[in-house]
Homo-oligomer: A and B are copies of this chain.
Amino acid sequence: MATKARRTPRRTDALSRELIVETATQILDADGEDALTLRALTGRLSTGYGALYHHVANKGDLLAAAADDVIARAMTDVATDAEPRETLRALALSLFDAINAHPWIGAQLSQGPWQPALLEIYESIGEQLQALHIPEQALFDSAGALMNYILGVAGQNAANARVRADKGVDRTAALAAVAAQWARLDPARYPRLHKAAARLGEHDDRRQFLAGIDLFLAGIETVHGQGEDD
């Protein structure tokens, strides 16, 4: 008896959580957050919903796993053999760049900050601050604040990138639009913004992010440090 023709060709190799997460990341990177639907994923993987749900708990689990992978990869790229301040800057920039390259991570960062890769970050920041001889209680606060700053700011930045991508405008055009808006503000009510409008053209998110890191480090050393150790 003739077998019924299959609607879709069935995949021959086994599905795995890894493959699912990897494919999800590809869709997210290529077409953005909204493009990752379970329908799109079943299509791309030539499989059904049940198969996916057999390997991941739900869509949130999938997104968290994808974000965790990217963050973990960014962390292994950081050279840790340099001087502590330099290592911290490198770590911060690596995370900033990773989050900017995969803006969909932004939404995940705020979904419970105790994912595996975040442990890595916290531990690493703690290690560098300890090398700077920050006393223990201060280290606790400083590491937390620094980590919050990095993830918070990078996340905000990624969100901006996402909004720009959705609207289809590039960074320069978006900045010009904001500058025009600020320039239109009442100089009596918003004197600083009105003035800052002229300077927005030279604004660089990455540089400003790093400037913030430096201010933070300067603050940490001023308040808690025992001076330079080189």
Contact = CB atoms under 8 A, between A and B. Distances in A.
A214 interface: yes
Given A119-B185, A208-B145, A222-B222, A163 B112 contact: yes
Contact of A123 (B107, B158, B190): B190
Bin chain A's interface residue count.
Answer: 35 or more
Given A149-B149, A149-B212, A152-B149, A123 B193 contact: yes
A39 B69 CA distance: 37
Given A140-B199, A178-B114, A222-B219, A192 B130 contact: yes
A182 B148 CA distance: 18
A109 interface: yes
A156 interface: yes
A155 B153 contact: no
Nearest to A112: B163
A113 interface: yes
A211 interface: yes
A68 to B, nearest CB: 15
Nearest to A218: B219
Contact of A151 (B156, B193, B212): B156
30 contacts: A107-B110, A110-B159, A113-B156, A113-B159, A113-B160, A114-B181, A119-B190, A122-B193, A123-B191, A126-B193, A140-B196, A142-B215, A143-B192, A144-B208, A145-B153, A148-B153, A148-B156, A148-B208, A149-B149, A151-B152, A151-B156, A152-B156, A212-B216, A215-B220, A215-B223, A216-B219, A217-B219, A218-B222, A219-B219, A222-B222
